Amino acid sequence: MRELRHIAVAYFTTLYLAGCADLAREEMEAVPYVDIEEFMGTWYVIASIPTFLEKGVLNPTEKYSLNNDGTVATEFSYLTSSSGQQKSFTSKGFIQKDTGNAIWGMQFVWPIKADYRIVSLSSDSRVVVIGRNKRDFLWIMSRDKQIPEGQLENLIKFASDLGYDRSKIEISNWQRTLREVK
C-alpha cells in the first residue's frame, strides 16, 4: 500500500511538472507581418540575453541580406572586450512559410535550425525584439546606436511579460554610453 502511494505521488508529480514545462514552452506569438526587404540591413544590438558567443562583446551589430533563394544571410559583428579585435560569425535564416516573414529557422550549423521570432517591430520598422519559444535568448535591436531609455524600459517590460527573466537582460555598450552621458 505504501509503495502504491509513492508511485501515485511520483506519477502525479511527473504530470504536474510536465504540465508546467508545457506552459513554459507556450508558443510565443510573432508579429503578423514583416516587410522583409525593409528588414534587411544593419541593426545595432541595444540589449540582449546573449548566447555564449555574444557575452561581453562591444559594439554588437546584426546585418541581414536577402539571398536569391529567399534565405537570409546574417552576420553578427562585434569587438572583443579583451583585445578590441573585430570579429564576426555568420548564419543563415530560413523564413517559414505562412508566418508573414516573422518566424525563421536560424542555421549556424547544418542541419540544426534554431527558433527565431520577430515578436515586436515598431511602426516605423526601426526597433525590433527578437525572441525564442524557449525564452533563453533575446535581442532588442535598433537601426540607431541608441534608443530613448523609456522606450528601452518598455521593451524590457514587454520581454519580461513574454516570460523572459529580466535579470538576465544585458544592456550593450551602445546604450550604456547614453546612460553615462546623463
Please indicate, yes or no, if residue 10 is contained in any of the structural domains: no
Evaluate if residue 6 carries a pLDDT over 60.
Answer: no
**Residue 110: inside a domain:** yes
Contacts by 162-166, CB closer than 8 A, 24 or more apart: 162/28, 162/119, 162/131, 162/135, 163/24, 163/26, 163/28, 163/135, 164/49, 164/131, 164/135, 164/138, 165/49, 165/135
**Within a domain: residue 128?**
yes
Q: How many domains does the chain have?
A: 1
User: Would residue 103 count as lying in a domain?
Assistant: yes
For residue 139, the domain's CATH number is 2.40.128.20
Q: Does 22 reside within a domain? A: no
pTM recorded for the entire structure: 0.82
pLDDT tens digits along 77-115 = 999 877 778 999 899 999 999 999 999 989 887 788 888
Domain for residue 28, yes or no?
no
Q: Is the pLDDT of residue 18 over 50?
A: no
- Cα distances from 139 to residues 32, 110, 179, in angstroms, run 19, 23, 19
Q: Which domain holds residue 99?
A: 36-181
User: Confidence band (pLDDT; 50, 70, 90) for 152?
Assistant: very high
Residue 6 lies in a domain: no
Cell numbers describing residue 46: 541595444
Q: Is residue 71 part of a domain?
A: yes
Tell me: pLDDT of 57 over 70: yes
